[in-house]
Amino acid sequence: MTSVKDIEQSIKKLAVESGDRIHSRILEKLLRKLDKSKRQVTGKQANIWRIIMNSKITKLATVAVVILAVVVGVTLIDRSATPSYAIEQTIEAMRSISSVRAYSRDLEVLFKINPETGKEECYRVEEGNVLTVATPEKTYHYDKDKNVVRISDEYVIGVEVRFSRFIEDMADWAQEHNRKMDHRFEFDQELQKEVIKIHIHPAQGNSGEQDPMNTINVDPMTKLPISFGPIHLEYNVPIPQGSFDFEIPDGAEVVYE
Amino acid sequence: MIEDRLLLYRFKRGDADALRRIYEKYEVYLLTVATALLNDMGAAEDVLHDSFVAFAESAHKIRLEGNLRSFLATCVANRCRDLMRKRSRNSESLNKAAMFTCDEKGPEPAAVCNERLERIARAIALLPYEQREVVVLHLKAGLMFKQIAGLQNVSVNTVQSRYRYGIDKLRSIVNGEVRQ
């Protein structure tokens, strides 16, 4: 007799093989569509900017830390592994962040953070030959190759991740989706130091490859996350004067959106 | 999750590599969901194709409330339902063979597992579509009952009932208690 549990487990394990033919057919068409779509909206950059929205900010901001301190501690964290650390310490440590520098090989972002809400207030992004500077009043998008500055009369939210609260958001998400989180102390070869690795396990029934972005490296001293995947993080960095000022370069074409 | 948000952020800014990574990350998952819903691999491929093309075309309109995985699964589920309705009106059947595979190691365990999955897949195809949708979206796509309720435009209680009825019926079919 097959039990309900067996049936549920079997359905979770269902998988089909996607052949090269379907893979290539869809992917090629997708990339063509994206290319076409990019050409169509080149002159409408402001629309693109507007949709870079932050979707999780408001609902978590005020109540999360209280709820998580109780719920996360009980249900999500495997405390037996490392009793000297609890994720609440990281959540608490992140509460006082006033600036974040996030960087990888080809990206550098400097955020000024409102410690009350965890929201970004200003940011500066250098990504290849494109510089974006956003202030509460204006957002400047400078393409150095084309020497074109696009100016939007509004603050355009930079990323969907709340860098200063992403552990809270992650814990909330894990709880919402019944995903187990745990942590362990480990020597990280790339960082060349011992770190706490906070890890989100794949969903039940998904035995797929572990996503490296689902492991967050936390500094045991400060309790702050220092990297995940290729992204490295620094907090409360001094913001150089003028970081969020933008001066239109001589000879640049200016487009008001 | 964080990777998805970064990928989406880059995708919205026209990064083709981000779109490629999103597609490659969720291709098998979405194809499996569509195949389980439609019991037709060819139709599932078409749904996957249409869903991703629409996704690529509407990058600038996407407002992600939850996570990207659920968002894409919902897009696929909506298209599957539309297709089922259309086929139903045209009296077309979608019951072509769907091939599910096991990741068990070794020929014998794999054969046993494949046979079990085939039986389950055939049983899923016999469920009324509303129940099938709830069972597949909850168990395979990982959507919560609340999300499925929104998708089906019914209450959470109705979705939970559909799930219970669906699972009971599956158990009965698989155990030979219901004539197929």
The pLDDT of residue A207: 46
The pLDDT of residue B113: 80
Q: Tell me which of A122 and B99 has the higher pLDDT.
A: A122
Amino acid (one-letter) located at B35: T
Is B33 in contact with B83 (CB distance < 8 Å)? no
- Selected residue of A7, A24, A109 to mutate for chain B interface (largest B Cβ count, 10 A): A7
Q: Tell me which of A249 and A16 has the higher pLDDT.
A: A249
The pLDDT of residue A35: 66
Q: Is A49 exposed, middle or buried (0-12, 13-18, 19+ CB in 10 A)?
A: buried
Q: Which residues contact A163 (CB under 8 A, 6 or more apart)?
A: A100, A102, A109, A111, A113, A120, A233
Q: Is A160 on the interface with B (CB under 8 A)?
A: yes
Distance of alpha carbon A46 from alpha carbon B17, whole angstroms? 22
Q: Tell me which of B84 and A18 has the higher pLDDT.
A: B84
The pLDDT of residue A208: 44
The pLDDT of residue A56: 28
Residue-wise DSSP of B46-101: HHHHHHHHHHHHTGGG---SS-HHHHHHHHHHHHHHHHHHHHHHTT----------
Q: Is A96 on the interface with B (CB under 8 A)?
A: no
For residue A22, pLDDT over 80 is answered with no
The pLDDT of residue A73: 33
ipTM: 0.84
State what percent of residues in chain A have pLDDT above 70.
Answer: 68
Q: Is A69 on the interface with B (CB under 8 A)?
A: no
Print pLDDT tens along chain B (180 aa).
Answer: 556 766 777 777 677 778 888 888 898 899 999 999 998 888 888 899 889 888 888 776 776 666 788 889 999 999 999 998 887 765 455 555 557 776 666 777 778 888 888 888 889 989 999 999 999 999 999 898 988 999 899 999 999 999 999 999 999 998 886 555
Q: Is B61 on the interface with A (CB under 8 A)?
A: yes
Q: Is A207 on the interface with B (CB under 8 A)?
A: yes
| Local confidence band at A158 (pLDDT 50, 70, 90 cut-offs) | low
Q: Which residues of B102-130 are buried (b: 16+ CB within 10 A; e: fewer)?
A: beeeeeeeeeebeebbebbbbbbbebeeb
Q: Is A131 on the interface with B (CB under 8 A)?
A: no
Helix, strand or coil, per DSSP, at residue A228 = strand
List the single range of A121-135, A150-164, A186-200 with lowest mean pLDDT: A150-164
Indicate the pTM of the whole model: 0.52
Flag if B53 and A33 touch (Cβ within 8 Å): yes
Identify all chain B residues contacting A59, using CB atoms and an 8 Å cutoff. none
Mean pLDDT throughout A190-206?
Answer: 76
Distance of alpha carbon B111 from alpha carbon B119, whole angstroms? 12
Identify all chain B residues contacting A176, using CB atoms and an 8 Å cutoff. 144
Flag if B57 and A37 touch (Cβ within 8 Å): yes
Q: Which residues contact A91 (CB under 8 A, 6 or more apart)?
A: A64, A65, A68, A69, A167, A168, A171
The pLDDT of residue B89: 61
